[in-house]
Amino acid sequence: HDTGKVLDSSPYVVALAVLLVFILSPMILCGNSLILTALYRFKRLRTPSNYLIISLASSDLGAGVFLPVGMYMELTSEHGLPSSLCLLPYCFGIFVCSASIIVMAAISVDRFTSLAQPLRYNNLITHNSMERYILMFWLYSGLVSLTPLVYSQCISRVPITTCAFLA
């Protein structure tokens, strides 16, 4: 018997998933808010390397906001909404997660550069260059996040019948 819900598994699995989201989401929001607050309040912490930490905390904050919305959409799989409206929350999730992954890779490159080129590091990694890199990371993440919309509107001929990622 099909109820139209994507997560028709056992109630225990659904309860565990909901519990994890409602435990993790506030922790993610509080932890990253504390990081952003500390970096905002103390000017000494505003180094080029910490710009990457600010960017990572911002993207993770977005992921913490997306978790409950994504869980709700998976559990209810709303019917009757336009496909672009169904995809927008997932595009946002892809946006913040891809930004997070790119920034984590950039942090590792930054740390490697500081170890491999310690004398040249301050000339290579400046506030302006780091701001430009971070802008490029977020713009690229934005482009990546638009692919589901582009695919659904331009390429795919299969209509979206439910607002669920796993449908």
CATH classification of the domain holding 60: 1.20.1070.10
What DSSP element (H or E) covers 8? none
Cβ proximity of 4 and 166 under 8 Å: no
Total domains, the chain: 1
Q: What is the mean pLDDT of residues 126-150?
A: 95
Domain range for 43: 11-155
In this structure, is residue 148 part of a structural domain?
yes
Q: Over the range 83-113, which residues count as b (16 or more CB within 10 Å of their CB) and which as e?
A: beebbbbbbbbbbbbbbbebbeebeeebeee
83 in any annotated domain: yes
Domain-embedded: residue 165: no
Cα 138–Cα 141–Cα 145 angle in degrees, nearest 5: 140
Could you tell me if residue 62 is inside a domain? yes
Question: Does residue 1 fall inside a structural domain?
Answer: no
* Mean pLDDT of the region 98-105: 98
At residue 157 the predicted structure's pLDDT band, cuts being 50, 70 and 90, is low
User: Looking at the domain assignment, is residue 105 inside a domain?
Assistant: yes
Model confidence pLDDT, tens digit, residues 17-43: 888 888 999 999 999 999 999 999 999
Q: How much of the chain exceeds pLDDT 90, in percent?
A: 59
Residues 141 and 163: their CA atoms lie apart, in Å, by: 22
pLDDT digit string, tens, across residues 52-83: 999 999 999 999 998 888 888 777 766 566 66
